[in-house]
Amino acid sequence: MFRASKISNGSFLMPSFLQSRNKSKNERVSRTAWLDGMRGLAAFFVYIRHFASATHPNIQVGFGANPDNRYLIQLPILHLLTAGPAMVALFFIISGYALSWGPLRAIHNQSASACLQRLSSATFRRAARLFLPGVASTFIVMLCVSAGLYDRGHASINSDDMPGFMEPEPPMFRTEPFIVQLRDWVNCTWSWLQIWNSGGHPYDAHLWTLPVEFRCSMILFMALVGFARTPPRIRLGLLLSCIVYCHYTNFWEGWLFFAGSFLAQMKLMQDEGAEEANMILINTIVTANNAPGYRTISTFCPPHWPENWRFPHCVGAFLTVYATSSTSTATLRSLFDNPVSVYLGKISYALYLVHGPVVHMLGFWLIPWFWAITGKETMLQKEIGFGAGFAIATLCVIWSADLFCRGVDWRCVAFAKWAENLVIVAD
C-alpha cells in the first residue's frame, strides 16, 4: 500500500531515478541485466514508432524502396529507432530467454527440485503478472475517454495534417450515461482475456501482445518440464526442433519464444565450454561475414507465413540476442546495461502500457499545436513542430510510466507473489 507520507509530501510523483540518485551506486548488476536494458530500449522504440506513424506515412518503409524514400531515418540501423514490429520480435525472444534462464540454470546445477519450483512459481504468477496491469491501464483509459481527454487528440488524427497510419481510437460513448462506457469496457476486457482467441483490447490496440505472451509462456513452460531430464545436447536439439516445428506451422511467436530458450541453453553450455555452442558461434560469425542484402533476404521469407515480413525480424532478433549473450567483452553489453537502458528496462512494461494513451491524449494534440507556432508550409517547419511535441510527450510518457510502474505494475507483481505464498504447499 502507498505510504501516506509519500503521498502527502508529493514524493511519490517524483520519478524514481530522482528519488534514488543518492543511493549507493555499488548495487550488484545481475548477469542478465542486459536483457532488461534491451527490453527497455525496445519499448522506447515502439513508442517512437507509434508517435511518429500518424505524421510520417512512409516511416515503415526502408531506404531506397522507391525513389521517394530517401530519408536519413530510413537508413539501416537508424531505421531501428522507428521499427516497432521488429521490437515486438525482440520482446518475444527476450521473454523466451528470460523465462528459461532460471529453470535451465537449475537443471545445469543438477537441482531438479529448484527447476520445478521455478516453473511452478512462474506458471502460477504469469497470468496476474501480464493481465492485471493491462486491466488497470485500460480502466484508466476508459475513465479518460469518459472525461473527454481523448477528444482533442481524436480530432487531430482525423485531420488532413496526419496522413499516416491511424491507430484505432477507444470506443467513445460521450453522449450516453457513464454506465454505458463502463459496461462496454467490461465486455471488451472480458473478450480480451479470452486468451485462446483474443486480439487487441479496443481501449488500447497495442495490448494484443499480452495474450500472445501468455500462450507462448505456457507452451514454453510445458516444453521445459518435458525436456528437464534430458542431457544438455539433447535438450538443445529438442528446442531447435520446436523452432523448426513453429516455422513450418506458421507460429512465428512460438518461433521466437523457443529461440530465446535455445539461446539461454546455448549460453549455459558455452559457459561450460561445450564444443557445440562454440561451433555455433563460429558458424554465425562466418555467415554474418557474408550477410545477404535485403533482396536476397526477401527470398527466404516463408511464403506459408500469413505475415511473412516478420521472418527477417525474427532472424534479426535472434542474432541480436545471440551476439549480446555470447560476447565475452563488455562493449556490446554496455549498450544495454548502462544506467539509462537499465532504467528503461525497469519501467519497460509500464512504458509499453502507458505510451499509447499518452500519445493519443497528448501527443496527437501537441503536434498541431506546435505547428500553429512553427508553421507547416515546409518540411523543416513541420519537423521542428513535430520534434517539440515529441520532446514534451516523451517527458510525459517516461513520467507516467514511472508512476504506473511503482503504483500499479510492481504492486501487481507483489500481489501475485502474495497469492502464491497464500496457497502453495511448503516443501
Using the predicted structure, report yes or no on whether residue 323 has a pLDDT greater than 80. yes
Give Cβ neighbours of residue 187 (< 8 Å, ≥ 6 apart). Answer: none
Which pLDDT tens digit goes with each residue over 201-217? 999 999 999 999 999 99
Which pLDDT tens digit goes with each residue over 66-76? 777 877 788 88
Cβ atoms of 324 and 332 within 8 Å: the answer is yes
Where along the chain do its domains lie?
Answer: 31-423
Q: Find the mean pLDDT for residues 340-355.
A: 97
Q: Find the mean pLDDT for residues 138-157.
A: 91
At 420, the pLDDT band (50, 70, 90 cuts) reads very high
Please report, to the nearest 10 degrees, the dihedral formed by the alpha carbons of residues 60, 66, 71, 75 taken in order.
70
pLDDT of res. 290: 58
Separation in Å, CA 208 to CA 88, 189, 197, 331: 11, 12, 11, 35
Q: Find the mean pLDDT for residues 385-414.
A: 97
Instruction: Tell me the percentage of the chain whose pLDDT exceeds 90.
Output: 65
Which pLDDT tens digit goes with each residue over 78-100? 888 999 999 999 999 999 999 99
Prediction pTM value: 0.91
At 157, the pLDDT band (50, 70, 90 cuts) reads confident
pLDDT of res. 33: 87
Using the predicted structure, report yes or no on whether residue 312 has a pLDDT greater than 80. yes
C-alpha grid cell, residue 181: 462506457
Using the predicted structure, report yes or no on whether residue 109 has a pLDDT greater than 60. yes
Q: How far is the C-alpha of 304 from the C-alpha of 302, rounded, in Å? A: 5
pLDDT of res. 300: 77
Using the predicted structure, report yes or no on whether residue 289 has a pLDDT greater than 60. no
Instruction: Tell me the percentage of the chain whose pLDDT exceeds 70.
Output: 89
Question: CB burial class (10 A; 0-12, 13-18, 19+) of residue 306?
Answer: exposed
- Residue with the bigger pLDDT between 15 and 267: it is 267
Using the predicted structure, report yes or no on whether residue 425 has a pLDDT greater than 90. no
pLDDT of res. 1: 46
Mean of the per-residue pLDDT values of the chain = 88
Q: How far is the C-alpha of 383 from the C-alpha of 97, rounded, in Å? A: 39
